[in-house]
Structure 1
């Protein structure tokens, strides 16, 4: 049974890898198990669609159209290059004529070249219709009419004999410059070898383009693999979270009340033990502080303190009674007290003066 499940799982993995490689999707093995009809639909679409989700029939037509366009573009580029070279050659003669006088042959060559270019450019405007099959021309003129009225028609053969080598030489120099720029090296090689290398330049450029396309394809595949790995890790993470949630809810939270009860009882017992320890420490401190000798001394101090308190209370009572006696005298008590104080002070002063006189008299009699 386990072997059958493993085989089925490996088949699902192959299907997922195949579909993820063919289409920009991120399928997983779980999707294959949960949505088999959707997987069958995508598998059937793979026989009709390209990896870019384009119909294969349209893709073939597109490739054919691109090939035809490439051929037409190649022909147009050839004509365009020749046309530009002729204009550059014409401009070269004009600039050279400004610096120095041209020979009669060069002047004749320039006029014939300019006339032929003008007639050729005029002929391009005859076919103004966008329909290639249309035979309607501008003003009813044709290329044959232009060739018939060209006054330099008889000079075309001599023009071509001089023009073709000149154009070939100019194009050869440009090809050599392209090769030098492409290979980033000097022009130390011979002209024939450089021209031979320039003939290989399109193939080299095409090879580089193809190499870049292959690297781009590999980069795209690496991106798909990275996305696949990301989604795989993401799915594993989700499964791990679900498993963790199950473990927590089934085991951790299930036993949590019992664990909390045990923890509470343990904390209560620990708190009671701590209170008893504190009480024991308090009693120990009291025992260390109040020894037998200390208690006896404190008892003696207490007796003396009680005796002193009793005597103070007696003195207080005596003073209170004396004050009450003085207060019973009436309103003249204050004046009597003041008079008594004044007389007592005078008596003390007189006693002091008498004592001083006696001391003075004794000193005189002794002298």
Structure 2
């Protein structure tokens, strides 16, 4: 029976769109899509159960509580450090401003004594802090040149000068901090710079609220940007999924219909190339006829005919002569090899006679000259 109820819960988890959205909103840092939850209902049920024990960052409730306490303690320590550091830096700035002012204008002796005493006190306090062991460890720091804090305290100014400095310090520090706050106000709203000091003081009282408001606005914009980024990632994944489906469908259409379309296309291409080939052949024949017409004029054709007739008559005569010579040769071949020797001797004598006739002719021409 329990197995049946569990199966029913799993089916409900797999079909509940609101539940999917709640799970995705509860785990924004988890790279999970709604399709993943639909395909894995058991995993969706596990995430829905974990939402009761963990927060959006994946921390458990006790761990989140301890982390908040540690964060509050850290913030308290940080505020203390910032308070002391701000005070120290403010005093340093006052000393620097006095040093610059002393080089440009004449400073009263009492004011000069005030800043010199404050500078010496700060320097002694800094040295004592460097020589004192750390409060976070039980180990003693090694001494520097054998000095102790008592040696450094001996360098303090006179007690009356220190008391006078302490009495005037709050007023001077307040004046310095007020000037910095007014400078910050002018930087935040430059159009307020030319207003009266009283009005600036009133607006300065509301500066922290304005800055806090701007900070909250920036945080809200950052959170909105984070939500938009998460929504954009979801839409991008959905778009890529749909695009993949479209590509698969397109591939199916191509594989199914490409062969049919390719057959028709090949047949049309074949008809086109056949027609083009016939056209090229007809054009070649036309060019050949034009060349022949340009080359063979009526006069040329009649001359060629006469030449052909003459060549044919000569061919007939040569053919007849060849036949008569072949008959003579066949009759000579009957006589045998002895006649062949006589024939060669006869040819040799004829050649000698011709050579002597040629030499006699040349000699006669040379004698006549």
Classify the TM-score, shorter chain. 0.5 to 0.7
1:332 to 349, 352, 366: 349
Is 1:202 aligned with 2:208? yes
Structure 1: unaligned runs, 5 residues or longer: 1-7, 132-145, 290-296, 353-367
Which residue does the alignment assign to 2:41? 36
1:235 to 204, 222, 241: 241
Which residue does the alignment assign to 1:46? 51
Which residue does the alignment assign to 2:87? 82
Which residue does the alignment assign to 1:178? 184
Query: Deviation string for 1:182-202 (max 9, x for gaps)?
Result: 223463122222223333333
Change (3 A) 1:330 1:59: closer
Change (3 A) 1:16 1:231: farther
Q: Name the SS of the counterpart of 1:332 in structure 2.
A: helix
Change (3 A) 1:114 1:42: same
Q: Name the SS of the counterpart of 2:59 in structure 1.
A: coil
Change (3 A) 1:343 1:187: closer
Change (3 A) 1:260 1:94: closer
Change (3 A) 1:12 1:237: farther
Deviation at 1:228, TM superposition (A): 1.4
Alignment TM-score, normalising by the size of structure 1: 0.58
Larger Rg: 1 or 2?
A: 1
Out of 201-210 and 299-308, give the one that drifted further: 299-308
Q: Name the SS of the counterpart of 1:336 in structure 2.
A: helix
Change (3 A) 1:348 1:40: same
Q: 2-side partners of 1:237 and 1:118: how far apart?
A: 72
Deviation at 1:126, TM superposition (A): 7.6
Q: RMSD of the TM alignment (CA)?
A: 5.7
Structure 2: unaligned runs, 5 residues or longer: 1-11, 138-152, 293-301, 330-339
Q: 1:269-288 maps to which residues of 2 (within 5 A)?
A: none
Q: 1:1-367 maps to which residues of 2 (within 5 A)?
A: 13-21=17-25, 22-86=27-91, 103=109, 107=113, 129-130=135-136, 152=159, 156=163, 161-185=167-191, 187-248=193-254, 251-252=256-257, 307-316=313-322, 329=346, 331-340=348-357
Q: 2-side partners of 1:128 and 1:339: how far apart?
A: 143
Q: 1-side partners of 2:69 and 2:265: how far apart?
A: 82
Deviation at 1:13, TM superposition (A): 4.9
- State the structure with bigger RCO (CA 8 A, min sep 6), 1 or 2: 1
Q: Name the SS of the counterpart of 2:53 in structure 1.
A: coil
Q: 2-side partners of 1:316 and 1:108: how far apart?
A: 150
Aligned length: 308
Query: Deviation string for 1:30-63 (max 9, x for gaps)?
Result: 3233211111222222333333323344334433
